[in-house]
Structure 1
Amino acid sequence: MVQKRAGGSLLLLTTIGMTVAFMVWGAFSPLINQIGETYNLSATEKSVLAAVPVLLGSVMRVPLGILTEKYGGRKVYTLLLLFLILPLAAAGFVDSYAALLVCAFFLGMAGTSFAVSMTFVSKWTSKEKQGTALGINALGNAGTAAASLALPMIALAAGLEWVFWSLILPIAAMAVLLWFFTPETPSADTSRTVKGELSVLAYKHTWTLSLFYFVTFGIFVTFSVYLPTMLIDVFDLSAVDAGRRTAGFIILATFIRPLGGFAADKTAPGPILAGVFLAVAAGGSGIAIGGQNMVLMTAASLLLAAASGIGNGAVFKLVPSIFPSATGTVTGIVGAAGGLGGFFPPILLGVVRDMTGAYAIGFVLLAVMSTACFLVNQKAFQDAEKEQNLKEIRA
């Protein structure tokens, strides 16, 4: 009963902590066009600024996942949030594009909260409920929606510098709450080595799950950071209007994610993922063909939001199921792949836009990539009997 109460309070605080951290991670994307006007940036330069936070937030998920396994979520989560105060404070003082890139890079550490939080929660959750619990925890992704809604209004009312300074207080508050009101990870093991943790790279399912999450979470991140830019460019919307529409995408993708985890708890994730990748292929094709029409763009984007959210939940049901004793490390690796799936596409879309005057080629590539994942899933997880016979890998 004590563990159940601890797990419940931990789930609440880690989810709120991730929400605040993801507001920081997504702070630049709803402001890109305002920053672009200030510094006279090209589409490629704006896409780079939007994508830079994703880079560090992706690759650092692996070491943060390992550190969480080794030292426990309470310590790692608290120190991570305290670190974010430094680039937030600095971002309000910079006056050049280059300096903004540096701040954006270090603010990317906010994205690693995903690996820390998911690992922390998984250690306090029974195996049969992990899909649901991790899906609820991932509601913290809604922080990017909050950023899209709130930060453009703060920028208009008080200036760009206060966008960053206003985030310092909630970050500091969550650091205090996590330190004083969450338990130590019950299985934290300081004897674990980096070499031992990375042995999971020898298993094919590590790479399969990474590929799938590269697509599903990559869609979420790409649309979170670059949809405002596309909407303003194609439909000449205001920053606030584009932010609201982007928030709608993020909210749908985030709040449908627990459904993917819950469904994967109740049935085989393979068929769920098959449907996800077919839907992504359809959504990508829809934007490639009809992305200049607001109705078609909206419908295809919402389809991608729903598919990516369900896919994210299903993928992360499989992580602790297949790797119960290396959840943190595999969470970091798979999470890093997902983050990188959101790093390259915005840059690609910016380059494609500068070269062709449209974004269609980028979404054709998404449809092709999703079709490839569908075929891989057919071999890896689609067969329910084969999936039930997967041996747990205890690295």
Structure 2
Amino acid sequence: MPFVNAWFPPARRGFAIGVFGAGMGGTAISALTTVPLVDAGDIQTPFLVTAVVLLAYALLAAAVLRDAPGRAVPTAPLAQRLAATARLAATWQASLLYAVAFGGYVAFSVYLPAYLKTSYGLTQSDAANRMAGFVLLAVVMRPVGGWLSDRVGPIRVLATAFAVVTAGAAAQAFTPGLMPGATIAFLTMAAALGAGSGAVFALVALVTPADKVGSVTGVVGAAGGLGGFVPPLVMGALYGAFSSYAVGLAALAVVAALTLLFTLTAVRRFIPAQRTD
């Protein structure tokens, strides 16, 4: 993230980081290829293929990637830099936003096949293909969210994204028919979560000092991973208790609505000097 950030002026960082963030499409590639690779070889095959791809990329990166001229290099000790990062309000605000936006994307990419099989009686392959469509749309929308953030500001993009997730989750809590109701609800949420994920890092690039971008994005990225880890556990527990996903989806709607309110109040007030629209 700091590598990409350093190559672009502030007005273009949203789109650039959004394109970089589209690499989250690797989850779709993994979901669609892991089982076929196992079937074609054995349980070790996906790991060996991944190792080869990583090694090839490492060699390519070593050959062609270069740090941006004039890159800000932090000189303070690690502990001091981490403490300074923790004192930045932007670190924790962006972490909360990313935990909901990217965490929601990760959670759906993990749990959506099980949900579709249980609620709509789909086969494993059909559910996996629909999940891949969800992921693909979110991936495409991530650079779009960054591009829009460059033009209208990340606050507007984030507010719109969380409003859409609120509406989509609330509608899906009533378990509408798969076509078109549930399909529309999940695809609109996919688009919103992807755009919101791109907008979060556009916001980080806008308000974070250049020498702290790496440490801030590290914390924010970890929050996104945690945000994706918790919801599937909650959904599973709620389904076990109530034999229904409605409560879990209603909870998602409430969380998205609260995050929308947080974006329009605390986050907007935090960046009035830079860009609030």
Tell me if both proteins adopt one fold, taking TM over 0.5 as the criterion: yes
Alignment correspondent of 1:335: 221
Q: Hey, what's the Cα distance between the residues in 1 that align with 2:13 and 2:272?
A: 16
Deviations 1:6-32 (A, max 9, x none): xxxxxxxxxxxxxxxxxxxxxxxxxxx
Deviations 1:14-57 (A, max 9, x none): xxxxxxxxxxxxxxxxxxxxxxxxxxxxxxxxxxxxxxxxxxxx
Alignment correspondent of 1:68: none
Matched residue type, 1:273: L
2:2 is aligned, of 94, 116, 119, to: 119
1:344-383 equivalences under 5 Å are 344-382=230-268
Q: Are the counterparts in 2 of residues 129 and 265 from structure 1 also a CA contact under 8 Å?
A: yes
Query: Alpha-carbon deviation of 1:292?
Result: 6.3
Alignment correspondent of 1:272: 157
Alignment correspondent of 1:224: 109
Query: Alpha-carbon deviation of 1:161?
Result: 3.1
1:389 is aligned, of 270, 273, 277, to: 273
Q: Where does the alignment leave 5 or more consecutive residues of structure 1 unmatched?
A: 1-117
What SS does the aligned partner of 1:160 have? coil
Alignment correspondent of 2:43: 160
Q: Are the counterparts in 2 of residues 149 and 240 from structure 1 also a CA contact under 8 Å?
A: no
Q: Indicate how the Cα distance of structure 1 residues 228 and 164 shifts in structure 2: closer, same or farther if over 3 A, else same.
A: farther
Deviates more, 1:314-323 or 1:184-193: 184-193
Q: Hey, what's the Cα distance between the residues in 1 that align with 2:124 and 2:56?
A: 29
1:140 is aligned, of 17, 23, 29, to: 23
Alignment correspondent of 1:98: none
Alignment correspondent of 1:187: 72
Q: Indicate how the Cα distance of structure 1 residues 282 and 237 shifts in structure 2: closer, same or farther if over 3 A, else same.
A: same
Q: Hey, what's the Cα distance between the residues in 2 that align with 1:243 and 1:293?
A: 15
What SS does the aligned partner of 1:343 have? helix
TM-score by length of 1: 0.64
Q: Indicate how the Cα distance of structure 1 residues 201 and 320 shifts in structure 2: closer, same or farther if over 3 A, else same.
A: same
Alignment correspondent of 1:234: 119
Q: Are the counterparts in 2 of residues 268 and 387 from structure 1 also a CA contact under 8 Å?
A: no
Query: Alpha-carbon deviation of 1:200?
Result: 2.5
Q: Are the counterparts in 1 of residues 90 and 204 from structure 2 also a CA contact under 8 Å?
A: no
What SS does the aligned partner of 1:256 have? helix
* Count of residues in correspondence between the two structures: 272
Q: Hey, what's the Cα distance between the residues in 2 that align with 1:302 and 1:132?
A: 22
Matched residue type, 1:329: S
Alignment correspondent of 1:305: 190
Matched residue type, 1:165: L
Q: Are the counterparts in 2 of residues 152 and 243 from structure 1 also a CA contact under 8 Å?
A: no
Q: Are the counterparts in 1 of residues 206 and 274 from structure 2 also a CA contact under 8 Å?
A: no
2:180 is aligned, of 295, 298, 320, to: 295
Query: Alpha-carbon deviation of 1:164?
Result: 2.5
Query: Alpha-carbon deviation of 1:205?
Result: 2.5
Alignment correspondent of 2:34: 151
- Indicate the percent of aligned positions where both proteins have the same amino acid: 36
Deviates more, 1:247-256 or 1:346-355: 346-355
Deviates more, 1:181-190 or 1:274-283: 181-190
Alignment correspondent of 1:13: none
Query: Alpha-carbon deviation of 1:364?
Result: 1.0
Q: Hey, what's the Cα distance between the residues in 1 that align with 2:156 and 2:75?
A: 38
Query: Alpha-carbon deviation of 1:256?
Result: 0.9
Q: Indicate how the Cα distance of structure 1 residues 360 and 158 shifts in structure 2: closer, same or farther if over 3 A, else same.
A: farther
Q: Hey, what's the Cα distance between the residues in 2 that align with 1:245 and 1:190?
A: 48
Deviations 1:94-117 (A, max 9, x none): xxxxxxxxxxxxxxxxxxxxxxxx
Q: Hey, what's the Cα distance between the residues in 1 that align with 2:50 and 2:88?
A: 40
Query: Alpha-carbon deviation of 1:294?
Result: 5.1
Query: Alpha-carbon deviation of 1:171?
Result: 1.5
Does residue 189 of structure 2 align to residue 316 of structure 1?
A: no
Deviates more, 1:162-171 or 1:139-148: 162-171
- Supply the RMSD in Å over aligned alpha carbons: 2.1
Q: Hey, what's the Cα distance between the residues in 1 that align with 2:181 and 2:42?
A: 34
With CA pairs under 8 Å and 6+ residues apart, which has the higher RCO, 1 or 2? 2
Q: Hey, what's the Cα distance between the residues in 2 that align with 1:161 and 1:355?
A: 37
Q: Indicate how the Cα distance of structure 1 residues 292 and 352 shifts in structure 2: closer, same or farther if over 3 A, else same.
A: farther
Q: Are the counterparts in 1 of residues 94 and 200 from structure 2 also a CA contact under 8 Å?
A: yes
Deviates more, 1:159-168 or 1:324-333: 159-168
Q: Where does the alignment leave 5 or more consecutive residues of structure 2 unmatched?
A: none
